[in-house]
Structure 1
Amino acid sequence: MSEPQNNVKLDAFSELDKDHRTFVRLTVDENLKNKDLAARVNRKREATMSEWKKSTWYKQAREAYIRTAVKGEYKVKGLKTLLNLLDAKSEMVRLQAATTLLKMAGTLSDNDTPELIQAKVRKANAEAEIAEQKAELFKRSESTGITKIVFSDDLKPDKEDDTDQEGDESDGTDTESR
């Protein structure tokens, strides 16, 4: 004969009997009137349903059920819905569905916004276009034999720092007459 495990704690939903669990499920999953709820959980009075909804056990069990359902069944339904929205007619709906899926997969930061993503795409496209133009110019200059000097706005420090050189420390102006 095995002893019950004392360290196992059931949540408020799991501790309920079958009728009460059914009641909680129906109030979360379906929008039924008290009359219909009473019939489904084997009760004769609608008032009992109102009393149950006001009780502490119901509120705790409802929260426990929602947490469990979101982790399981609702998560699957939500994912299926998002996948279906990827084929929506609206471009914005498709973008939001894709963004949500990427965030769920951990490949997109919460700091990213659709506008920021679009700006990053535009920037990447512009950089690719610039690289193509530079390659085309390089090909043309090689075929014509013309050497071109390309100026860059990349401000990188010189390898040599002029301030540490020995020698004349004047500022370059000649104040003495020769």
Structure 2
Amino acid sequence: MTEKLDKIGQSGPFFELDERRRKAVVLLFEDELTDEEIAKNVQRRRSTLDNWKKDPKFKAAQEQYKQLVVKDKFESKALKRLIELIDAKSEMVQLQAVTTILKMAGRLSENSTPELDEAKVRKAKAEADIAEFKAQTLINSGAEGVDLISEYLDKLDNMSSKELMKDES
């Protein structure tokens, strides 16, 4: 696997390591040998391998290698399966597949769902309507009327926020 990854011309922590450390990263990922056997395989002492494993750059290289292997071996297969699930019988499965694909494409954040986004839009529209109503009230009835309306609308806003939170849970 290392040779194939080297030919890709990638950069990053994995490719910045010397050949022995890269080999150690690969062997640790494959999880078929003990640490003692890995150390012997890369012609180093076990204590040296232990020190490498504590090094932040080595840890970053392990993470990068894991991502490269997953991307190389599984990403396209996983995406094809997700695309198939868009046509599943269950609407919940369809929604989860579409959401996952949108997140992968960077079109949807981890903290976002279609339902939550809709609720945010409804809330923004309601807040705009309230602001417009307050402005119109100010124009029509002077400052005293606005204070009363503001107090009433703030109470109403607090109530609707609680209801929205209740609906989301």
Q: What TM-score, normalized by structure 2, do the two folds share?
A: 0.41
**Structure with more helix by fraction:** 2
Larger radius of gyration: 1
